[in-house]
Amino acid sequence: MERTPKIVIEHLNFTYDDGTESLLDVSSTIYANEITVIFGPAGGGKSTLLRVINRLNDLAAGKSMTGRVLLDGQDIYAKEVDVTALRRKVGIVFAQPQPLPLSLRANIEYGPRLAGVRDKQKLDQLVEQSLTQAALWDEVKDRLNDSGYALSGGQQQRLCLARVLALEPEVILMDEPMSGLDPLSTAKIEDSMQQLKQLYTIVIAPHNIQQAARVADNAAFFLQGRLIEEGTGKQLFTKPKDKRTEDYIMGRFG
């Protein structure tokens, strides 16, 4: 199958205001309708990269950044870019499930409403569709008016995934989305990811190597802000070319 580049990262450098160089000359391509895994030891810059891709790091005061990030060939840091529209196109799921203090339904409708969707039918349809895609619909369809906090941690995380899906995004970023979850919830989310990649481009920073190897179509190994090696999941996790990648995968450091 022909692979379509979705996101192209060119010579990206990112430094926080305290001088931490979190990304150093990173260049990479993320392909559409694939699951791209970003992995590596703590502090490698995984979260920073994800937050750069949807410009959430605009919020970090005093950061400095050079290089380019292209989405469908468009520079997302260009002046004329509508940042809120970009964030709807590139949704993110965080490590900690973070429902807003609203009902389940309102959590999911939050993004679309901000985008100006008012039609009740459309909203209902988005709620059902996104909860179904996130494998949560059957568990909550009778209690949509309950608080988002009335759910278990695993359900909350799927709610957060559904909330992103309701934006009808093109890219979904997931930053260690399974870190606090039980194996069953993890399995459910991994299953839905396999469905979701038909429709979306997924970039995930998994919280362990096993998961990285399980879900990766494509993988990139980050060490201290540098992209060390990238390749297909199969190649990287079975025959890594770089010694440092191999050491990390074999559990020799990190």
Ligand X SMILES: Nc1ncnc2c1ncn2[C@@H]1O[C@H](COP(=O)(O)OP(=O)(O)OP(=O)(O)O)[C@@H](O)[C@H]1O
For binding to Mg ion (CB under 5 A), which residues are involved?
Answer: 47
Residue 101 interacts with another protein (CB under 8 A)?
Answer: yes
* Residue 232 interface partner, choices Mg ion, another protein, ligand X, none, CB cut-off 5-8 Å depending on type: none
Is 202 in contact with 36 (CB distance < 8 Å)? yes
Judged by CB under 6 A, does residue 59 bind ligand X? no
Q: Which does 28 bind (CB under 5 to 8 A by kind): another protein, Mg ion, ligand X, none?
A: none
What is the distance between the terminal CA atoms of the chain, rounded to a whole angstrom? 35
Buried b (16+ CB within 10 A) or exposed e, 165-175: bbbbbbbbbbb
Q: Is 254 in the site for ligand X (CB under 6 A)?
A: no
Quote the strand ranges of the chain, DSSP E.
5-15, 21-31, 35-39, 64-71, 74-75, 90-93, 171-175, 201-205, 218-223, 226-232
Residue length of the chain: 254
Question: Which residue stretch of 44-52, 72-80, 145-153, 180-188 sits at the interface with ligand X (rule: CB under 6 A)?
Answer: 44-52
Shorter beta-carbon distance to Mg ion: residue 47 or 157: 47
Nearest distance from residue 224's CB to another protein, in Å? 25
Residue 16 Cβ, how far from ligand X at the closest point, in Å? 3
Q: Which does 116 bind (CB under 5 to 8 A by kind): ligand X, another protein, Mg ion, none?
A: none
Q: Are 62 and 16 in contact (CB under 8 A)?
A: yes
- Our CB check for ligand X shows the closer of 41 and 153 to be 41
Stretch that binds ligand X, among 2-10, 38-46, 74-82, 141-149 (CB under 6 A): 38-46
Comparing CA positions, the residue from 54, 52, 44, 51 lying closest to residue 20 is: 44
| Beta bridge pairs of residue 70 | 8, 75
- In the shown chain, the binding pattern of residues 172 to 211 toward another protein, with x for contact by CB under 8 A and - for none, equals ----------------------------------------
Quick one: DSSP state of residue 207?
S
Binding flag, residue 64, ligand X (CB under 6 A): no
Cβ(185)–Cβ(210) below 8 Å: no
Where do contacts with ligand X occur on this chain (CB under 6 A)?
16, 18, 20, 22, 42-48, 60
